[in-house]
Amino acid sequence: MFTPAEAAELLARLELEQDGETLQTFFATRQGFQDAFGGFYIDHEAGGKLVLQLVHNHPRVKDIPALLPPLRHGDRLLISHVAWPTTRLKQEFDRISAVMNEYPGIEAVEINDVTNQVVVTINPVVTGTPMGTTVEKGILPRSFATLLVDPMVIVRSGKVTLKQEAIKAGQIWSNVKGGGGCTLGFEVIDNGNPSMLTAGHCVKNLNPYTTVYQGNTVIGYYSGQGQY
């Protein structure tokens, strides 16, 4: 059970995701601003802050804060500066994802919204490095090093874990391995099955029975009963 204060805080954090979508739409529909948008994420450890990332070398970066649309929780908005726009990150993510099956050993490709990087996880057998460590590209086989040469890409040694397990309210989920962007709410029972409530806009484009991940771990499947 949540106290009234805890329930209000959970609602505020779910609404922060909608504020993030508002910002994303703002940049996507403003000519010349797309390359200024580095993404957004919710910093739960900081008490629930919406962090807007702006590309530091964009010519209008100093003007943008005064042009932003109204937000439900504008008092929780923080601005940070990053190197890469989301458009470039997505292009690199798509490029690597399209050919990853040709590179046995690549376990996962993800966009890390917090670090503003594309992260490629490679099996330790290929890298010869301990699990969980960052890999210097110079020690990779030449074909891997060529594929991952862009400086926005970092390489980590690890394996993808695929198992269902319980998670807690407030944690992040996605419909892609290693993804994020949406927060799980509180636990509910749906037709007798343990389930988690989340923001409706997060599921509006999902098909029923879509696999749901926390990081690289399968935590369940979308029921297909979302409303938004």
Give tens-digit pLDDT for 41-77. Answer: 889 888 899 999 999 999 999 999 999 999 999 999 9
The strand pair at 153-157 and 117-122 is best described as parallel
pLDDT higher at 30 or 181: 30
The pLDDT value recorded for residue 51 is 96
Under 8 Å CB-to-CB from 16, ≥6 apart: which residues?
Answer: 42, 48, 50, 72, 73, 76
Under 8 Å CB-to-CB from 133, ≥6 apart: which residues?
Answer: 156, 157
d(CA 89, CA 75): 28
Question: How many CB atoms neighbour CB 70 within 10 A?
Answer: 7
Question: How many CB atoms neighbour CB 64 within 10 A?
Answer: 19
What number of CA atoms fall less than 13 Å from residue 65's CA on the CB side? 12
Note the pTM of the prediction, 2 decimals. Answer: 0.70
The pLDDT value recorded for residue 1 is 63
The pLDDT value recorded for residue 145 is 96
Average pLDDT of the segment spanning 110-125: 92
DSSP 3-state assignment of 78? strand
Under 8 Å CB-to-CB from 73, ≥6 apart: which residues?
Answer: 12, 15, 16, 19, 50
Phi and psi at 191, nearest 5°, equal 55, 40
The pLDDT value recorded for residue 228 is 41
Each residue's pLDDT tens digit, 183-226: 777 666 666 666 777 777 777 767 766 777 777 777 777 776 65
The pLDDT value recorded for residue 92 is 96
Each residue's pLDDT tens digit, 121-167: 999 999 999 998 999 999 999 999 999 999 999 999 998 765 545 56
DSSP state of 174: B
The strand pair at 106-112 and 117-122 is best described as antiparallel
DSSP 3-state assignment of 52? strand
